[in-house]
Structure 1
């Protein structure tokens, strides 16, 4: 019996795993990376997209383009399909949490004072909400949120590798950036530094974060026009600090560029943290899924907005929603 167009469409809409595979493929632009992110083999990833295209009867992606991009039909399909994915995530959240009884909160290297104050106030006003905390890798700070691994993420933009239309972002605080230097470095005794003064140093980078995020944090390109000297790639802030400290012992010079609060938490004998006066400040944002309307999540958003408003009243206003320009946290 021949299947009607209506039956084909309904069947395809119900196969959300294939729709999710297409979403990730278009975000990554590469079958191999998409497969790795979904923890499947490349052949399984290809088969999933092929089946979806066969069910719909249209070509959804242009495989000859690098990166892989959606065809016009694929763009139209995903514009509607994103809503189905959001609805499915909301249904899972409702089933798991019976409302807002549990929140999984992601973080990278601990919390700034502003984040801690926000969480303290949230818990004092919502004693019945149970929170679980999960440390994330740099590359997962918003990917884990979109994938449903966490409900809340305190993240630092730019947000790369995900469809930012799925995110609700609220600025919690803005802080200056600092240069992490070995204690015996010639520049370590300075009260402040400019970017030109660290141009000759190799900068420590992330081994896993998206390229756009890394470039913003290492500040590439530099105002001087000089090429950034990329140094060792690390996976954690503690590895980064250790790299700066041990490089001095070997006679070479490394620098780590990070946020002020990260430097305060990562204090370690053998390194110092010097303000970078001409580096663009970095933001810390409360990120949640736009489709998540649970009362606890709404309360966190309201507290973040209140913190942002308080900053504005003290003359330290921020532009909500504006991405940092485009280099490691």
Structure 2
């Protein structure tokens, strides 16, 4: 039994007239009659009672019609979804993201994705930058939001935002009383709380390079794998840290944020993906995320 045959049967059942049904199907009447007869032979029972004056459904035909209409509707929906997938406006996309993106781009990006691509389903999973590279290679995610620079190999990358680093200090730190901003060189003797290089190499490299430009290498006393843990350690008085300005939304008791004086130090956020396994919706998704990131930068959110 073919879906084409079911369409023929349903059309005749709706019209109860072979001529009108053939016109709707853009075919002549004899081939339509032949197809219905062939379907009846396959099924082993009659679908229609025919005479010169009328065509009516048999009881068996009435029962089959309900199932046929459901099957046709399901196939039509499947074809619609397939077209959406081909056009890049449907499907499932698995996103990995660094934790710091939660306080900046990610909420706006997901909201924008839902509004612009309502038929695309998303899963979002917090992962450190280096873990995202491995997850892309293992086909566990389709897209990563990560902090460069990273050893990307054959992965594609597109920078989507740049945000300033600020200093996270314990609330009673002496630097709070010295002005409205902090110079990097004033942090040379301070104990730092940072990501371990193997978990957040891009973040760690950006901080280490900025400190090096200021003439010192940071003394990392404590390490943390998540941005909220890092800021929690600062609140506990275990050290100071440099964090993206969006992370200052995490207002834990015992921690204060201050801008850096001098030339700003920027931390990038990038999309990374495997072009060899690119899914149809990915290009549009990256465009929507990039636009959301630019909007965040423009409005300072």
How many angstroms does 1:184 deviate by? Answer: 0.4
The one of 150, 157, 161 equivalent to 1:173 is: 161
The whole-number CA distance in structure 2 between the counterparts of 1:114 and 1:211 is 20
Q: Which runs of 5+ in 2 are unaligned?
A: 1-81
**Aligned ranges for residues 38-77 of structure 1 at < 5 Å?**
none
The one of 210, 227, 232 equivalent to 1:237 is: 227
Aligned to 1:187, what secondary structure does the other structure show? helix
Give the structure 1 partner of residue 199 of structure 2: 209
How many angstroms does 1:222 deviate by? Answer: 2.1
Residues 305 and 193 of structure 1, relative CA distance in 2, 3 Å threshold: same
The whole-number CA distance in structure 1 between the counterparts of 2:209 and 2:146 is 18
Deviates further, 204-213 or 105-114: 204-213
- What is the RMSD of the two structures over their aligned residues, measured on CA atoms? 3.2
| Residue 268 (structure 1) aligned with residue 252 (structure 2) | yes
The whole-number CA distance in structure 2 between the counterparts of 1:311 and 1:130 is 23
Give the structure 1 partner of residue 274 of structure 2: 289
How many angstroms does 1:206 deviate by? Answer: 1.9
Q: Which runs of 5+ in 1 are unaligned?
A: 1-93, 249-253, 317-329
Give the structure 2 partner of residue 196 of structure 1: 185
Q: How many residues align?
A: 211
Residues 256 and 195 of structure 1, relative CA distance in 2, 3 Å threshold: same
Contact 1:171 1:304 in 2 (8 A): no
Give the structure 2 partner of residue 153 of structure 1: 144
Give the structure 2 partner of residue 73 of structure 1: none
**Aligned ranges for residues 2-21 of structure 1 at < 5 Å?**
none
Give the structure 2 partner of residue 12 of structure 1: none
TM-score of the superposed pair, with normalisation by structure 2: 0.60
The whole-number CA distance in structure 2 between the counterparts of 1:113 and 1:245 is 21
How many angstroms does 1:155 deviate by? Answer: 1.1
Contact 1:175 1:283 in 2 (8 A): yes
Residues 146 and 280 of structure 1, relative CA distance in 2, 3 Å threshold: farther
Contact 1:171 1:308 in 2 (8 A): no
Aligned to 2:102, what secondary structure does the other structure show? coil
